[in-house]
Amino acid sequence: MLLKDKVCIITGGAVNVGRAFCEQLLKNGAFIAIFDLDSDIGELCCAELKQQFGKNRIIFCHCDVTDFTQFEESFQMTKDTFGKIDILVNNAEISNDKFWELETDVNLNGFIRGSLLAYRFMSKDKGNEGGTIVNIGSSCSVKPFISSPIYCATKHAIVGLTKAYGNDYHYNLTGVRVICYCVGPTESDFSSHSRQNNNTPNHERARNIDMQGIRYQKLDHVAKELITVLLNASSGSLWIVRNDEKPSEFPFSNELF
């Protein structure tokens, strides 16, 4: 798979790891649609990337992933602009168990909404050419963090979403590959977000237990290795990137029952 001239949607694409994903995809010749809730930051990000990569390769769509209609309109705007959609990076998230209903709506339901729309706009059985959905997970997708149980639940859930939709049954029908890219602790503004969690008793103590021995990796490394995974991963696979190392595929067994 080559990324040149592929049309990519990145939710939460205006800042931090989302913006880094945009930059790497552009460096590999893709067209991108930045979906973000913050219009001011999104427009600024779009303008800066246009200066660097050319004005015809990038659009910004104001998008709240909890609003299906707005999400759908943003998909349609992307297709109207570029003629097709090839890749969805489900990235938008929040990390604050105090606001657990919103957290669940963004981190899980937002990924489900994005996936359903991606199938509509990419699936071969709907007259399209197929494509790829990348669900962005975290260390919490495979390891429980006691300081953020509800955030953990949302990140565990997208592993199940990836494994089920990524199964050959769905892939053979739709031509849509589904993979999960789990990002370990990374140097970005989000490294401080877990401190905002006010729903866990003695939260700071729990967080210190979770973070023992953890080393933050560079944002640029995470974004570059997304490209590696996009080019090589099979449908239904889960990849973990941490400690500035190469991504490793997480082993799953399909024979548990």
pLDDT of residue 233: 98
- Decide if 115 contacts 133 (C-beta within 8 A): yes
Is the pLDDT at 39 greater than 70, yes or no? yes
Query: What pLDDT digit, counting tens, does each position of 203-249 carry?
Result: 677 676 656 667 777 989 999 999 999 999 999 999 999 878 898 89
| Catalytic-role residue among 151, 165, 171, 216 | 151
pLDDT of residue 23: 98
pLDDT of residue 187: 82
Domains and CATH numbers, the chain: 7-242 (3.40.50.720)
The arithmetic mean of pLDDT across residues 24-41, rounded, is 98
Which of residues 144 and 123 earns the better pLDDT score? Answer: 123
> pTM (2 decimals)?
0.92
Could you tell me how far CA 190 lies from the centroid of its own chain? 14
The arithmetic mean of pLDDT across residues 77-98, rounded, is 97
Query: What pLDDT digit, counting tens, does each position of 53-87 carry?
Result: 999 999 999 999 999 999 999 999 999 999 999 99
Active-site residue, 151 included: yes
Give CA–CA dist 71/53, Å, rounded: 25
Give CA–CA dist 61/78, Å, rounded: 8
